[in-house]
């Protein structure tokens, strides 16, 4: 069992809901964690399905919050966007894009298969310098409040179990199989290198 906390990245599409909920839970439990999105822009629900609110990743959570309040406070209060952004503002200033991060992690957890594919593609396109392994694991989490919380708890349990292993390289596949059976969710796993 390592006494050094795992360096964890949690990644969803827009770094708003699922990755931020997991970021919150993991940071409360002492993990060294960062969260990211992989999209080209941050997208949040708008007044209609075909009219999302789209922001640049450099836009702060506070700016997004104020923009939504100015557009329709009632709508964005009712659909939970303002509450979510209030949480996000307490965690970090703005969403971050995974492809722009050069930090090294022990574990990258993605929240949907398309994000997993983007992370693996990005990692494999980078020049390998240290050949240090990073485990990339996907846990499919539906993008809504309830599932984000359920998924964050599952990710926390998974990270704690990985933290408690004697040898992550030898024990991870078996551990993931146990988590698949207990949770009823499929997990994808691969190893990339820095």
Residues 166, 169: Cα–Cα separation, whole Å? 9
Contact 8, 156 (CB under 8 A): no
Asked if pLDDT for residue 37 goes beyond 90, the answer is yes
Position 5 pLDDT exceeds 90: no
CB atoms within 10 A of CB 41: 16
66 and 86 in a single domain? The answer is yes
Q: Is residue 102 in some structural domain?
A: yes
Residues 133 and 49 in one domain: no
Q: How far apart are CA 110 and CA 123, in angstroms?
A: 13
**Which domain does 158 fall in, by range?**
7-39+97-193
Give domain status of residue 16, yes or no.
yes
- 147, part of any domain: yes
Based on the fold, state whether residues 46 and 30 are members of the same structural domain: no
In a domain, 134, yes or no: yes
Average pLDDT over residues 156-169: 95
Is the model's pLDDT at 158 over the cut of 70?
Answer: yes
DSSP state of 48: S
pLDDT confidence tier of residue 1, bands split at 50, 70 and 90: low
Q: Which residues in 131-140 are b (16+ Cβ under 10 Å) and which e?
A: eeebbbbbbb
Residue 2 domain flag: no
Q: Are residues 124 and 46 in the same domain?
A: no
Whole-number pLDDT of residue 4: 82
Quote the mean pLDDT of the chain.
97
Q: How many domains does the structure of the chain reveal?
A: 2
Q: Read off the pLDDT band of 2 (50, 70, 90).
A: low
For the stretch 101-142, pLDDT in tens is: 999 999 999 999 999 999 999 999 999 999 999 999 999 999
Q: Give the pLDDT of residue 36.
A: 99
Q: What is the pLDDT of residues 64-112, one digit of tens each?
A: 999 999 999 999 999 999 999 999 999 999 999 999 999 999 999 999 9
What is the rounded (10 degree) CA torsion for 113, 188, 17, 71?
Answer: 0
Residue ranges of alpha helices (H) inside the chain are 18-28, 61-78, 81-91, 113-125, 145-163, 168-183
Residue 22: per-residue pLDDT: 99
Residue 1: inside a domain: no
Residue 46 sits at φ, ψ, to 5 deg, of -110, -160
Tokens of 42: 């941050």
d(CA 181, CA 22): 21
């Amino acid at each position: 069992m390592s006494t050094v906390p795992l360096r964890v990245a949690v990644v969803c599409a827009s770094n708003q809901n699922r990755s931020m909920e997991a970021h919150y839970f993991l940071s409360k439990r002492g993990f060294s964690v960062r969260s990211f999105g992989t999209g080209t822009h941050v997208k949040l629900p708008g007044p209609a399905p075909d009219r999302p609110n789209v922001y640049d990743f450099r836009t702060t959570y506070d700016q997004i919050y104020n923009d939504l309040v100015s557009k329709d406070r009632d709508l964005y209060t009712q659909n939970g966007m303002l509450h979510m952004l209030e949480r996000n503002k307490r965690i970090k200033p703005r969403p971050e894009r995974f492809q722009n991060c050069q930090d090294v992690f022990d574990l990258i957890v993605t929240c949907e298969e398309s994000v997993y594919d983007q992370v693996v593609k990005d990692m494999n396109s980078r020049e390998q310098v240290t050949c240090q392994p990073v485990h990339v694991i996907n846990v499919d989490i539906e993008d809504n409040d309830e599932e984000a919380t359920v998924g964050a708890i599952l990710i926390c349990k998974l990270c704690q179990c990985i933290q408690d292993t004697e040898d992550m390289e030898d024990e991870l596949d078996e551990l993931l199989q146990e988590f698949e059976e207990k949770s009823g969710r499929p997990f994808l796993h691969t190893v990339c290198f820095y």
